[in-house]
Amino acid sequence: MKNTVIIGLFAFGALLTACKPSAEEVNVYSARHYRADEQLFEKFTEATGIRVNVVKANADQLINRLEMEGDMSPADLLMAADAGRLVLAREKGLLQALQSPIIKERVPEHLRDRQGYWTGFTRRARVIAYHKERVNPSELSTYEALAEPVWKGRVLVRSSQAHYNQTLMASIVAALGKEEASAWAGQLVKNMARKPGGNDRDQVKAIVAGEGDVAIINTYYMGLLLNSANEEERAVAREVALFFPNQEERGTHVNVSAIGLTAHAPNAENAQKLVEFLLSEEAQKTIAEVNHEYPVNPTVEWPPLLQSWGRFEMDLLPLDELGKHLETAQMVFHEAGWE
Ligand code: FE
What ranges do the domains of the chain cover? 4-123+256-308, 124-252+319-336
CATH architecture for residues 4-123+256-308:
3-Layer(aba) Sandwich (3.40)
Dist. CA 217 → ligand 1 center (Å) = 9
Q: What is the pLDDT of residue 112?
A: 98
pLDDT band of residue 3 (cuts 50, 70, 90) is very low
pTM over 0.75: yes
Dist. CA 97 → ligand 1 center (Å) = 26
Q: What is the DSSP string of 263-279?
A: TT-TTHHHHHHHHHHHT
Nearest-angstrom CA–CA distance, 34 and 135: 31
Q: Could you tell me if 217 and 204 are in contact, meaning their C-beta atoms sit under 8 angstroms apart?
A: yes
pLDDT band of residue 254 (cuts 50, 70, 90) is very high
Helix (H, G, I), strand (E, B) or coil at 122: strand
Dist. CA 163 → ligand 1 center (Å) = 10
Residues 6+ apart with CB under 8 A from 261: 76, 77, 95, 96, 97, 98, 117, 268, 271, 272, 275
pLDDT tens column, 255-276: 999 999 999 999 999 999 999 9
Q: What is the pLDDT of residue 334?
A: 97
Dist. CA 291 → ligand 1 center (Å) = 9
pLDDT tens column, 75-108: 999 999 999 999 999 999 999 999 999 999 999 9
Q: Could you tell me if 18 and 7 are in contact, meaning their C-beta atoms sit under 8 angstroms apart?
A: yes
CA distances from 235 to 106, 183, 310 (A): 37, 36, 22
Dist. CA 253 → ligand 1 center (Å) = 15
Phi, psi (degrees; rounded to nearest 5) at 208: -70, -30
Q: What is the pLDDT of residue 322?
A: 86
Q: Could you tell me if 164 and 220 are in contact, meaning their C-beta atoms sit under 8 angstroms apart?
A: no
Q: What is the dihedral of CA 69, 73, 76, 80, to 10 degrees?
A: -30
Nearest-angstrom CA–CA distance, 335 and 339: 10
Q: What is the pLDDT of residue 23?
A: 77
Q: What is the dihedral of CA 208, 254, 228, 241, to 10 degrees?
A: 40
Dist. CA 20 → ligand 1 center (Å) = 32
- State the average pLDDT for the chain: 94
Q: What is the mean pLDDT of residues 298-302?
A: 96
Dist. CA 31 → ligand 1 center (Å) = 10
Dist. CA 242 → ligand 1 center (Å) = 16
Dist. CA 81 → ligand 1 center (Å) = 6
Dist. CA 128 → ligand 1 center (Å) = 15
The domain 124-252+319-336: what is its CATH number? 3.40.190.10
Using alpha carbons, select from 228, 222, 225 the residue that is nearest to residue 124. Answer: 222
Nearest-angstrom CA–CA distance, 325 and 333: 12
Q: What is the pLDDT of residue 80?
A: 98
Nearest-angstrom CA–CA distance, 116 and 97: 5
Nearest-angstrom CA–CA distance, 216 and 206: 12
H or E, element range at 309 = helix 304-309
CB atoms within 10 A of CB 124: 23
Dist. CA 319 → ligand 1 center (Å) = 17
Q: Could you tell me if 43 and 16 are in contact, meaning their C-beta atoms sit under 8 angstroms apart?
A: no
Dist. CA 172 → ligand 1 center (Å) = 20
pLDDT tens column, 59-80: 999 999 999 999 999 999 999 9
pLDDT band of residue 143 (cuts 50, 70, 90) is very high
> Which of the residue ranges 2-6, 302-306, 313-317 would you say has the lowest mean pLDDT?
2-6
In 115-156 the beta strands, taken as DSSP E runs, fall at 119-131, 155-156
Q: What is the pLDDT of residue 2?
A: 41
Nearest-angstrom CA–CA distance, 290 and 93: 33
Dist. CA 17 → ligand 1 center (Å) = 31
% residues pLDDT > 70 (the chain): 94
Q: What is the pLDDT of residue 148?
A: 98
Q: What is the pLDDT of residue 106?
A: 97
Dist. CA 263 → ligand 1 center (Å) = 26
Q: What DSSP designation does 155 have? A: E
Q: Do domains 4-123+256-308 and 124-252+319-336 have the same CATH topology?
A: yes
Dist. CA 49 → ligand 1 center (Å) = 29
Dist. CA 259 → ligand 1 center (Å) = 15
Dist. CA 195 → ligand 1 center (Å) = 20
pLDDT tens column, 183-236: 999 999 999 999 999 999 999 999 999 999 999 999 999 999 999 999 999 999
Nearest-angstrom CA–CA distance, 303 and 287: 10
Q: What is the pLDDT of residue 323?
A: 83
Nearest-angstrom CA–CA distance, 139 and 215: 14
71 burial level (CB within 10 Å; 0-12, 13-18, 19+): exposed
Dist. CA 82 → ligand 1 center (Å) = 9
Dist. CA 261 → ligand 1 center (Å) = 21
Nearest-angstrom CA–CA distance, 224 and 277: 24
